[in-house]
Structure 1
Amino acid sequence: MTIWDGINEFICVVETESFTAAAKRLDVSVAHISRHVNQLEDRLGAKLLYRTTRKLRLTEVGEVYYQHARKVLNELQEADRAVMEMEGKPTGKLRITAPVYYGEYFLAPLVNDFLLQYPQLDLELKLTNETIDLVEEGYDLAIRLGTLDSSSLMCRKLARRTQYLCASPAYLAAKGTPHTLTDLANHRCLGGSIDHWRFLENGKLRNWRIGSAWSCNSGLALKDAALKGLGIVQLPDYYVQEELKQGLLVSLLEEYRLPDDGIWVVYPHNRHLSPKVKLLVDFLVKKLGARA
């Protein structure tokens, strides 16, 4: 018996919760499934499954073995796909995550264009402002905004991002225009998902804590409030650049603005040789890289 014998049968039994269903999925006999699972348990010297006439469940050892075996099988399947893709067109599913607004307005249209070129690919796109563990959750890549935390992920820069402090002309006419950071204490500051704004003062990073009079974790809601004269907002360029051009919003305290940060595509090391991931990353860099 080799080290691989019985693993696929065991995983299939766990995931179908039945020896009969596993046999049907793998197109073999129930006796074949039972024999290989028994041989696997004998080789390991451990009981992996509790079997009754009504139900199967994993032992504690079986749960640990299943989690490791599933990861190994995933890697083997990814290796098979990589080789097949190198010989032809990319296939399989692309699992991507991105922040909600940026994903809706910028990433999704580009990914849809990419899929028109490679119709054999399937897509799972999860838009969330939460940071997902790509390795643990099995995602191929993610879009991350701002300064990257140090991690084992590989990354490529797609574009630059400028943070603007701005308000509507009506608000400034009523409340006056701030000229220093200290002046912000006399203004209504519209807060987002964090409780401070970031500035550069005398060459040093300065965090300005925002009051709690108005806050929302939606950039679109923040922009709407600023346009309606409710206060001052700090938002990335892709939210407000058109409104700034049209004079609907006015840029403030530009001398305190931080240097541009980045918009990044990140992906696990085990994905960087996958042709489908490489093709998509190159495609995004080409389309968004003009401002990198």
Structure 2
Amino acid sequence: MNETIQWNDWEAFCCVVEQGTFTAAAEQLDCPKSRVSAAVARLETAIGAKLLERTTRRMRLTDAGKAVYRDVAPLFARLREIRQETLAREERVQGVLRIATPYEFGAQQLGGVICRTLAAHPALDVAVEITQGLVDPIRDGFDVAFVVVDTDLPDSGTVARRIYHVERGLFAAPALAASLPAQLRPEDLANMPTLTTPGDTVWEFTRDGQTVSVPIRPRMQTHNAELRLQGALAGLGIARLSVIYCEAEIAQGRLVRVLPDYPLPPLRVFALLPDRRLQPRKVRAFMEAIESMMVSELEPEAGLDGGMGAEAAASGQAEGAARTAG
């Protein structure tokens, strides 16, 4: 191959193909049209084959041109990505960061992180929307969406980052607990009043590797953990709540744990981000603050996996996250 060929010649050829005309390619590359034409001619000479068939009305790729473009275009696309990644790392933290979160997690866990992030970046604004259930950050236009689930997340075009495992239990006021059968079994709950989240019709329990599903009869249904806690304290029913959330009431004798030998599936808190390789600097700054929060609040014995990506990057029990949907 002729040694006078330049990298820019390859780029000019790809740009002509992508833009459709030499004029548009020259505007895209911010150079004279004559330079683009010379670059393509130089490339054709070096390769020894015609790459483009040109008339006054139209332009098309030859077979050789198609083969060259197929092989070369992905390389320049990746170079452009690298350039954008480099620029993104240096860009200022600014703009509006849109966050979706359940109420308790936003108020009790994210509040401090958001305030610290805003204080550190004066050009950044934050808009927080209270949501429930699974949120699609791509469809709904959020930069970060926090969700609390007790099942696996469905497949989607989002990246799930940072997971808490939150232990849950059943709790009742002492008077109601005293009225329960001495040898209480999960199946007995089918005829008892319960305090649940909306849509709950079945509670699952595990013991000795076996899962038991029990239909329940809700007296109160709400996503708000504090309301369920107040209902349990008032003796209105058996509530499913985060264990740490109820510690103070248990210590004061105001609540009793029910069926402690039958573990419940834990709650998990995910941060969902749009599935894109180039995260804006504002998102990276906020997620770095979230990671710092998690490191400080994970139990000492819990591990923290530094890997990021489509899988959850950390697990453990966190007191703050326990004060979410319960």
The question of a shared fold, defined as TM-score above 0.5 by the shorter chain, is answered with yes
The residue that corresponds to 2:135 in the other structure is: 132
Please tell me whether residue 162 in structure 1 is matched to residue 167 in structure 2: yes
Q: Which moved more, 1:110-119 or 1:202-211?
A: 202-211
User: Are the counterparts in 1 of residues 97 and 124 from structure 2 also a CA contact under 8 Å?
Assistant: yes
1:236 aligned to which of 233, 242, 246:
242
Tell me the CA shift for residue 176 of structure 1.
5.1
SS of the counterpart of 1:89? Answer: coil
Give yes or no for contact 2:250–2:256 (8 Å, CA) kept in 1: yes
Q: Residue 257 of structure 1 corresponds to which residue in structure 2?
A: 263
TM-score of the two chains, using structure 2 as the length reference: 0.59
Q: Give 1:234's aligned amino acid.
A: R
Q: 1:219: which partner in 2?
A: 225
Note if contact 1:265-1:281 (Cα within 8 Å) is conserved in structure 2: no
Letter aligned with residue 101 of structure 1: E
**Do the aligned partners of residues 214 and 123 (structure 1) sit closer, same or farther apart at CA in structure 2, a change above 3 Å counting?**
closer
1:247 match: secondary structure: coil
Note closer, same or farther for the CA distance 1:136–1:219 as it changes in structure 2 (3 Å cut).
same
* Other-structure match for 1:141: 144
Q: For structure 1, which runs of at least 5 residues remain unmatched after alignment?
A: 6-78
Q: CA RMSD in A?
A: 2.9
Amino acid at match of 2:117: F
Say if 2:187 and 2:214, in contact at 8 Å, map to a contact too: no
Who is 1:277 aligned against?
283
How far apart are residue 275 of structure 1 and its match? 2.2
CA change 1:152–1:204 in 2 (3 A) is farther
Structure 1 residue 196, shift from structure 2 partner: 2.2
Question: Which one of the candidate residues 197, 211, 214 is aligned to 1:192?
Answer: 197
Residue aligned with 1:230, SS: coil
**Cα pair 1:145 1:263 within 8 Å, conserved:** yes
Which structure features the higher share of helix residues?
Answer: 1
Partner of 1:96: 99
Q: Which runs of 5+ in 2 are unaligned?
A: 1-22, 28-82, 300-315, 317-326
Give, in whole Å, the separation in 2 of the partners of 1:275 and 1:246: 46
User: Is the contact made by 2:100 and 2:144 (CA closer than 8 Å) also made in structure 1?
Assistant: yes
Question: Is contact 1:97–1:125 with CA below 8 Å preserved after alignment?
Answer: yes
Q: Normalising by structure 1, what TM-score?
A: 0.65
Provide the C-alpha distance between the structure 2 equivalents of 1:237 and 1:280, rounded to a whole number of angstroms.
Answer: 28
Partners of 1:238 and 1:95 in 2: CA distance: 29
Separation in 1, partners of 2:178, 2:113: 40
Cα displacement (A) at 1:167: 0.8
Distance of 1:117 and 1:238 partners within structure 2: 31
Cα distance, 1:200 vs. partner? 1.3
Query: How many percent identity over aligned positions?
Result: 25
- Give the count of matched residue pairs: 219
